[in-house]
Amino acid sequence: MLGLEYNTAVVLAGTAALGLAAGSTGSLALLRRRALLADALSHATLPGICIAFMVTGSRSFAALLTGALITGILGVLVVVMISRRGKIREDAAIGIVLGTFFGGGIALSGIIQRRGADAAQAGLDSFLLGQTAGMLLSDAITIGVIALITVALVVLLGKEWKLICFDPDFAGVEGWPVRALDLLLMLLITVTVVIALPAVGVVLTAAILIIPATAARLWVDRLGPMLILASIFGVLSGSVGTVISAGTAGLPAGPVIVLSASAIFVVSLLFSPRRGIIARARSRVAQRRRQERRRLLGSIYEGIEESHVPMIGEAELARRRSWGPGRMRKHLEKASRRGLIVWGSTGIALTDSGKTLAEKIVRDERIWQQYLLSQAQIDRDLIDLDAAEIGQILPKAMVEELEAVLRAKGRLPGAAAIDTETPGGAS
Amino acid sequence: MGLFDHASLPILIVAVLAACNCALVGSYLVLRRMSLLGDAISHGVLPGLVIGFMLAGNRDLLPMLLGALAAALGTALATDFLKRSMRIDGDAAMGVVFTTLFALGVILIERYAAQVDLDPSCVLYGQVEYAAIDRWSGAIFGWRPPRSAVTLAIVFAIDLGVIALLWKEFLLTSFDAPLADSLGLRSTLMHLLLMGMTALTTVASFEAVGSILVVAMLVVPGAIGTLLSDRLLGVILAAQGAAILSAVFGLWSAEALDTSVSGMMAVSAGGVFAIAFVFAPKHGWLPHRLRRLALSLRIVEEDILGVLYRKHEKTHGTGDVEPESGAPPWHPAWLQILARLRLRLGGAVESFSQEPALTERGMIRGRRLVRRHRLWEIYLSDRLAIPASHLHDPAHRVEHFLDEEFTRRLEEKLDRPERDPHGREIPAPPEGKAARQKKRPPRE
Rounded distance, CA B137 to CA B123, Å? 24
- The reply to whether residue A210 touches residue B265, judged by beta carbons under 8 angstroms, is no
| Cα distance from N-terminal residue to C-terminal residue, chain A | 71
pTM for the structure as a whole = 0.81
- The reply to whether residue A92 touches residue B219, judged by beta carbons under 8 angstroms, is yes
- Minimum Cα–Cα distance from B280: chain A residue: A87
Evaluate whether residue B3 is within a structural domain. Answer: no
Evaluate whether residue B1 is within a structural domain. Answer: no
Residue B308 and residue B216 in one domain: no
Question: What are the structural domains of chain A?
Answer: 6-273 (1.10.3470.10), 280-419 (1.10.10.10)
Q: List all residues of chain A from 247 to 306 with a beta carbon under 8 Å from chain B.
A: 250-252, 254-256, 258-259, 262, 265, 269, 275, 277
Instruction: Count up the domains in chain B and report the number.
Output: 2
Evaluate whether residue B444 is within a structural domain. Answer: no
Q: What is the rounded average pLDDT of the residues A212-240?
A: 92
Residue B365 and residue B266 in one domain: no
Residue B217 and residue B314 in one domain: no
Q: What is the rounded average pLDDT of the residues A87-91?
A: 87
| pLDDT interval class at A363 (50, 70, 90) | confident
- CATH code: domain of residue B350: 1.10.10.10
Classify residue B86 as exposed, middle or buried by CB count within 10 Å of its CB (0-12, 13-18, 19+). Answer: middle
**Predicted-assembly ipTM surpassing the 0.85 threshold:** no
Residue B399 and residue B315 in one domain: yes
CB A141 within 8 Å of CB A9: no
- The reply to whether residue B266 touches residue A103, judged by beta carbons under 8 angstroms, is yes
- Residue of B88, B99, B228 to mutate when probing chain A, most A C-beta within 10 A: B99
Total beta-carbon pairs less than 8 A apart between chain A and chain B: 200
B419 forms bridges with which residues in the sheet?
B425
CB-nearest partner of A204 from B94, B102, B213: B102
Least confident of A183-187, A213-217, B213-217, B432-436: B432-436
Chain A residues within an 8 Å CB radius of B36: 36, 91, 94-95
Residue B262 and residue B215 in one domain: yes
Other Cβ atoms closer than 10 A to A279:
14
Signed CA dihedral, B277, B283, B287, B292: sign only: negative
Domain holding B47, by residue range, is 8-280
- The reply to whether residue B124 touches residue A99, judged by beta carbons under 8 angstroms, is no
- Minimum Cα–Cα distance from B211: chain A residue: A99
Shortest CA gap A95–chain B (Å): 6
Evaluate whether residue B299 is within a structural domain. Answer: yes
CA atoms within 13 A on the CB side of A196: 41
Chain A residues within an 8 Å CB radius of B94: 36
Classify residue B414 as exposed, middle or buried by CB count within 10 Å of its CB (0-12, 13-18, 19+). Answer: middle
Q: Report the SS3 class of residue A42.
A: helix
Residue B166 and residue B47 in one domain: yes
| Single residue among B226, B247, B280 that ends a domain in this structure | B280
A213 in contact with chain B, both atoms CB, cutoff 8 A: yes
Residue B230 and residue B361 in one domain: no
- CATH code: domain of residue B182: 1.10.3470.10
- The reply to whether residue B111 touches residue A95, judged by beta carbons under 8 angstroms, is no
B94 in contact with chain A, both atoms CB, cutoff 8 A: yes
Evaluate whether residue B182 is within a structural domain. Answer: yes
Evaluate whether residue B401 is within a structural domain. Answer: yes
Amino acid residing at A226:
M
B258 in contact with chain A, both atoms CB, cutoff 8 A: yes
| pLDDT interval class at A370 (50, 70, 90) | confident
Evaluate whether residue B423 is within a structural domain. Answer: yes
Say if residue A426's pLDDT is above 60.
no
Residue B13 and residue B144 in one domain: yes
Shortest CA gap A37–chain B (Å): 9
Q: Which residues, in sequence order, are CB contacts of A224 under 8 Å at separation 6+?
A: A158
Residue B271 and residue B409 in one domain: no
CB A250 within 8 Å of CB B110: yes
CB B298 within 8 Å of CB B403: no
* Segment (H or E) for B60: none
Q: Where are the alpha helices (DSSP H) in B85-186?
A: 90-108, 120-125, 147-165, 167-175, 177-182
Query: Mean pLDDT, chain A, as a whole number?
Result: 83
Q: Report the SS3 class of residue B143.
A: strand
Residue B345 and residue B221 in one domain: no
Q: Which residues, in sequence order, are CB contacts of B114 under 8 Å at separation 6+?
A: A250
- Residue of B28, B34, B35, B227 to mutate when probing chain A, most A C-beta within 10 A: B35
Residue B257 and residue B303 in one domain: no
Residue B73 and residue B199 in one domain: yes
CB A357 within 8 Å of CB A340: yes
CB A50 within 8 Å of CB A112: yes
| Single residue among B242, B263, B280 that ends a domain in this structure | B280
* Predicted pLDDT of residue B441: 47
| Single residue among B264, B280, B296 that ends a domain in this structure | B280
- Minimum Cα–Cα distance from B273: chain A residue: A96
- Using only C-alpha atoms, what is the Rg of chain B? 33
Say if residue A120's pLDDT is above 60.
no
Evaluate whether residue B2 is within a structural domain. Answer: no
Calculate the alpha carbon distances from B367 to A131, A206, A244, B61, B374 in Å. Answer: 76, 63, 84, 77, 11
Rounded distance, CA B109 to CA A234, Å? 25
* Predicted pLDDT of residue B52: 85
Q: List all residues of chain A from 107 to 136 with a beta carbon under 8 Å from chain B.
A: 107-111, 114, 125, 128-129
Block mean pLDDT (10 aa), chain B, length 444: 64 91 94 85 86 77 81 87 85 90 87 63 69 69 77 92 92 84 82 86 81 87 94 95 95 89 92 94 91 91 85 71 61 84 84 80 87 88 85 85 87 83 78 46 45
- Comparing CA positions, the residue from A262, A245, A263 lying closest to residue A254 is A245
Shortest CA gap B270–chain A (Å): 5
- Residue of A106, A126, A248, A259 to mutate when probing chain B, most B C-beta within 10 A: A106
B273 in contact with chain A, both atoms CB, cutoff 8 A: yes
A343 forms bridges with which residues in the sheet?
A348
Say if residue A326's pLDDT is above 90.
no
DSSP per-residue letters across B406-443: HHHHHHHHTT--SB-TTSPBPPPPTT--SHHHHHS---
* Predicted pLDDT of residue A423: 40
Rounded distance, CA A72 to CA A46, Å? 8
